[in-house]
Homo-oligomer: A and B are copies of this chain.
Amino acid sequence: MKTLSVALGARTYSIQIGMGLLSDPELYRSYLQGSQVMIVTNETVAPLYLDRLRQALSDYRVQEVILPDGEQYKTLDVWNRIFDALLDARFGRDCTLIALGGGVVGDMAGFAAACYQRGVAFIQAPTTLLAQVDSSVGGKTGINHPAGKNMIGAFYQPRAVIADTATLETLPQRELSAGLAEVIKYGFIRDAAFLDWLETHLSEVLGRESDALSHIILRSCEIKAEIVAADELEAGQRALLNFGHTFGHAIETGMGYGQWLHGEAVAVGMCMAADLSARLGWLSGADLERVRRLVASAGLPVDPPPEVSAERFLELMAVDKKVLNGQLRLVLLRHLGKGLVTGDFDPDLLSATLHAWDR
């Protein structure tokens, strides 16, 4: 088992990474206060892992709420079902929510924990690669609004993240690839050596070799924890983590939630942000080709869908949270391994990037 600490003062918590952690009763004991535990999971994950977790929690009063599976269900109404379950069970302020599932479950359960009776304890038990390397770490929680993704939410830290690598064995290949988009992202924005490693070892990762999986989860969480610890409320450099996300959110919203996986949209978004970085003269043509090759090798798309026009992209990007005082800010690459947040670019170059794909 590998342990990593996310240093956030009074809200410091640890990330545990390893095989079979979900079934270890001892692991939960130190994080649970009261006797009431609400497991929030979804229809896909429940048949696979709910029993395993319930058994590990046999000393507690455990209830569960099973949500439908998919980003399109990350809505106010589905979120409200968690409160229905908590109030049906008459759970008090000392209860703990455990998010068992991917990013959508984690986002909704975390946001419900942030708001139930103005805040109760919360543990992340991510079961997808995406959730293990990204969404379970950092305290961002929330739901979507028809007009924009993650527009309603809270910064709310878990008591712990328990990442059981055994859960990745059942993960569909498409979702494994989607998780890899965020893994690759960490290399692009922060760690050129990790990029080299990924290019060399991608086949082991795709083959789900456990050492390779543990390595990418740990390194991803290290980079994310470091950035989050320095900027919990996203006042500055935390925005680096949004590399590929402003373009990506536009794809997700433009196509309708649930059509593209988040990681797939981010993968294309990274290629688009790299394209703009190249137009600014920061990346060479060879760099750009390297970005696209690594993304494609991970089984991810590199081109935006023809359904989302350049104009629609701009419109959707204008409501993105990265807009400050009306100015669109993007995460671009100064070079491979170094991202930067900037609003200081020629809008014509952005337009050129958006029109570069013949649509």
Instruction: Give the B-binding residues of A (Cβ under 8 A).
Output: 34-35, 76, 80, 83-84, 87-88, 90, 92-94, 114-119, 140, 142, 145, 147-148, 150-155, 233-234, 318-319, 321, 323-326
Q: Which residue of the partner chain B has the closest CB to A115?
A: B152
- On whether A80 and B88 interact (CB within 8 A), knowing A116-B152, A154-B118, A233-B119, the answer reads no
Closest A-B pairs by Cβ, 8 of them: A87-B147, A92-B323, A117-B321, A118-B153, A115-B152, A90-B319, A83-B145, A118-B155
Report Cα–Cα, A319/B119, bound state, in Å.
15
- On whether A94 and B154 interact (CB within 8 A), knowing A118-B140, A319-B87, the answer reads no
Q: Can you give 9 contacting A-B residue pairs, CB < 8 Å? A: A87-B147, A92-B325, A93-B324, A94-B325, A115-B115, A118-B153, A118-B154, A118-B321, A119-B233
A92: chain B residues within 8 A (beta carbon): 321, 323-326
- On whether A83 and B152 interact (CB within 8 A), knowing A76-B76, A92-B323, the answer reads yes
A94: chain B residues within 8 A (beta carbon): 324-325
Q: Is the CB of B155 within 8 A of A119?
A: yes
Q: Is the CB of B321 within 8 A of A148?
A: no
* Shortest distance from the beta carbon of A89 to any chain B beta carbon, whole Å: 10
Report Cα–Cα, A37/B233, bound state, in Å.
22
Q: Is the CB of B142 within 8 A of A118?
A: yes
* Shortest distance from the beta carbon of A217 to any chain B beta carbon, whole Å: 25
Q: Which residue of the partner chain B has the closest CB to A139?
A: B118
* Shortest distance from the beta carbon of A207 to any chain B beta carbon, whole Å: 38
- On whether A151 and B323 interact (CB within 8 A), knowing A118-B140, A142-B118, A233-B119, the answer reads no
* Shortest distance from the beta carbon of A215 to any chain B beta carbon, whole Å: 31
How many identical subunits does the complex contain?
Answer: 2
Report Cα–Cα, A117/B322, bound state, in Å.
10
Report Cα–Cα, A323/B89, bound state, in Å.
13
User: Contacting A321 at CB < 8 Å: which of B93, B152, B154?
Assistant: B93
* Shortest distance from the beta carbon of A321 to any chain B beta carbon, whole Å: 5
Q: Is the CB of A76 within 8 A of B80?
A: yes
A80: chain B residues within 8 A (beta carbon): 76, 145
Report Cα–Cα, A153/B325, bound state, in Å.
28
Report Cα–Cα, A319/B88, bound state, in Å.
9
A234: chain B residues within 8 A (beta carbon): 118
A140: chain B residues within 8 A (beta carbon): 118
Q: Is the CB of A153 within 8 A of B76?
A: no
Report Cα–Cα, A232/B145, bound state, in Å.
30
Q: Is the CB of A115 within 8 A of B35?
A: no
Contacts A80-B145, A83-B151 aside, 13 further interface pairs with beta carbons under 8 A come to A76-B80, A83-B145, A87-B147, A87-B148, A90-B319, A92-B323, A92-B326, A93-B324, A94-B324, A94-B325, A117-B151, A118-B150, A118-B234
Report Cα–Cα, A318/B94, bound state, in Å.
14
Report Cα–Cα, A117/B93, bound state, in Å.
25
Q: Which residue of the partner chain B has the closest CB to A153?
A: B118
Q: Is the CB of A153 within 8 A of B115?
A: yes
* Shortest distance from the beta carbon of A185 to any chain B beta carbon, whole Å: 20
A150: chain B residues within 8 A (beta carbon): 118
A34: chain B residues within 8 A (beta carbon): 325
A325: chain B residues within 8 A (beta carbon): 34-35, 92, 94
Report Cα–Cα, A321/B94, bound state, in Å.
10
